[in-house]
Amino acid sequence: MDYKMPTDFLWGGAIAANQAEGGFGIDGKGISLADIHKYEPDLTNAEISAKQIKGVSTEDIKLHLSDKDGYYPKRVGIDFYHTYPQDLKLLADMGFKAFRTSIDWTRIFPTGDEEKPNEAGLAYYDRLIDKIIELGMEPIITILHYETPINITTKYGGWNNRKVIDLFVKYGKTVLKRYRNKVKYWIAINQINLIQFEPFNSTAIPYDTVDNYSEAAYQAVHNQFIASAKLVEAAKKINPEMQIGTMVADSTAYPYSCDPDDVELALKRNRMEYFYTDVQFEGEYPQYALNYFEEHHIDLNIQPGDLDLLKNCTMSFLAISYYYSQVVDAKRNTMDPASVVKNPNIKANPWGWGVDPKGLYNTLSQNWDRYKKPIIIAENGFGMYDKLEDGTVHDDYRISYLSQHIAAMEAAMKDGVKVIAYLAWGPIDIISCSTAQMDKRYGFIYVDLDNFGKGSGKRIKKDSYDWYKKVISSNGVDL
């Protein structure tokens, strides 16, 4: 049976404000967590990953805030704050139907606890969202994408403090009301499940301020669940047609072998990944998660009314980021999501991310079977060291990766999975989230800047630019 993609399918791409905008300190912008992410060229990728998993201390924060010599790339980005009209035009010329970005909390409430929003920040997003719409693209907006104000950390201790719920909801309601008739799809919190891989980005908790970091992190997630549910509650009143979704990074795992111990570990690991969406779609804490919390001495502060709110204000859609798959071996791995082994059956990019298109088919199918909720592929892309030659980048490796993953998506859709959007990550080169480097590139458009922000800033179309343009114009037929 031939399968045809829906005619209203949303082809597009995604970025984050903190990785692209720059504009540090302009128009009243405050300091976010991303603004203290220093580029450290002397560290290996493995060392950067280990440091990221460890998190950030209060001493680290003080050093970064007082540092006058270090380079902080996310304060500069690709200057999208000023170049967005030209950059969006390049994307629209590819035929983009949708564009995902985030609103930076610190542009609207610079410290997170002001009484009134910063009008200059709102005016910028007025212009940005209007331009997205003018160019024929559906804006898909993330309310929080690793842009928690640093003041939320230094003054309140991070997301494990329940006071942060109301501060975030005030910010969220501000933008929901502002763009009530312009933005239909809202992602409340980016990759809400990455508390073990990106603990500081996710929770804003310095690791040296709590005795039981796992407990504090899961408390932070609970508070984010409540904040998200409150935004769903608010959206129903502001404009019932708005949809609020949750987002996870696919971190499910294959068993290394058919050894029952490997299968059992993969099952238990995967359930604790589905935990986040189980709560936000089913509206209750599953028993397996409660058992896990008891076994690991995690005692959550769940207030009266929290569970009713979660039950009554579930999320409308699931946004997924997918880059690679993972494998677990019961002899070598634990329940820690960062504890994995290499898959000997697939190849990896220079950062160790295994290329596995069938993993996308798997996660789309598993999530649809579990929830029957519309899915947005909010991120999918291939980071690589691109080489500029002959006035362009011959990125066959990117075309190969994306074409295989789009084919896997279409196979899942043929089987009944309702995917409504495919958003390639970083369609124009931006700063890497994890390593803060520029030369880990994902884009269809090369940006002539190096790891220290030096270069012409010129935008150059790669080979993949014309390829993705054909994919969109053929509605996924010509891969």
Whole-number Å distance between alpha carbons of 362 and 39: 35
Dist CA 290 CA 315 (whole Å): 21
Helix (H, G, I), strand (E, B) or coil at 393: strand
- Measured CA distances, 458 to 19, 296, 335, 429 (Å): 17, 51, 45, 11
Tell me if 140 sits within 8 A of 99, measured CB to CB.
yes
Q: What is the DSSP string of 235-280?
A: HHHH-TT-EEEEEEE---EEESSS-HHHHHHHHHHHHHHHHHHHHH
CA atoms of 224 and 246, how far apart (whole Å)? 10
The three-state secondary structure class of 52 is helix
pLDDT at 296: 95
**Is residue 159 a part of any domain in this protein?**
yes
CA distance 196 to 341: 17
Q: Which of 413, 410, 411, 420 has the alpha carbon at shortest distance from 97?
A: 420
* 234 within some domain: yes
Q: Per the domain annotation, does 366 fall within a domain? A: yes
Q: Which residues contact 164 (CB under 8 A, 6 or more apart)?
A: 112, 152, 156, 158, 204, 223, 227
Q: Using an 8 Å Cβ cutoff, are 162 and 217 in contact?
A: no
pLDDT at residue 350, rounded to an integer: 84
φ, ψ (nearest 5 deg) of residue 189: -140, 130
Residue 433's nearest CA partner among 388, 397, 395, 381 is: 381
Of all helices (H) and strands (E), which one includes residue 99? Answer: strand 98-102
Question: Which CATH number fits the domain that encloses residue 143?
Answer: 3.20.20.80
Q: What is the DSSP string of 402-425?
A: HHHHHHHHHHHHHTT--EEEEEEE
Q: 276: which 2 tokens?
A: 């986040």
Residues 152 and 205: their CA atoms lie apart, in Å, by: 9
- Look at residue 59 and tell me if it is in a domain: yes
The span from the CA of 316 to the CA of 478, in Å, is 31
> CA Rg, the chain, in Å?
21
Q: Is residue 3 part of a domain?
A: no
Q: How far apart are CA 199 and CA 146, in angstroms?
A: 10
**Which single residue is written with the structure tokens 């047609």?**
241
Longest dimension (CA), the chain: 64
Domain count of the fold of the chain: 1
Distance CA 470, CA 454 (A): 32
Has residue 478 been placed in a domain?
no
Nearest of 343, 376, 378, 349 to residue 441 by alpha carbon: 349
Q: Model-level pTM greater than 0.85?
A: yes
Domain assignment of residue 105, yes or no: yes
Spatial distance between the Cα atoms of 79 and 21, rounded to a whole number of angstroms:
5
Distance CA 163, CA 204 (A): 13
Beta-carbon contacts of 226 under 8 Å, excluding residues fewer than 6 positions away, are 165, 306, 309, 310
| 186: enclosing H helix or E strand | strand 185-189
Separation of alpha carbons 278 and 297, rounded Å: 21
Q: Which amino acid is at 259?
A: D
Residue 63 is classified by DSSP as H
- Three-class DSSP category at 315: coil
Question: Would you list the DSSP string of 141-180?
Answer: EEEESS--BHHHHHHH-STTSTHHHHHHHHHHHHHHHHTT
Q: Which backbone phi and psi does 315 adopt, to 5 degrees?
A: -85, 155
Helices 213-238/260-282 angle, 10° precision: 40
Give mean pLDDT in consecutive 10-residue pieces for the chain, a chain of 479 residues. 89 98 97 97 90 94 97 98 98 98 98 98 98 98 98 98 98 98 98 95 97 97 98 98 98 97 98 98 98 96 97 98 97 94 91 92 98 98 95 97 98 98 98 96 98 97 98 96
Amino acid occupying residue 347:
K
Distance CA 131, CA 125 (A): 10
Separation CA 444–CA 13 (nearest Å): 10
Contact between residue 468 and residue 423 where contact means Cβ atoms under 8 Å apart: no
Based on the number of CB atoms within 10 Å of its own CB, is 307 exposed (0-12), middle (13-18) or buried (19 or more)?
A: middle
Distance CA 191, CA 376 (A): 13
What is the pLDDT, as a whole number, of residue 3? 85
- Residue-range definition of the domain harbouring residue 319: 10-473
The pLDDT assigned to 352 comes to 84
Q: Residue 348 contacts by C-beta under 8 Å, 6 or more apart in sequence?
A: 324, 342, 354, 355
Q: For residue 73, is it within any domain?
A: yes
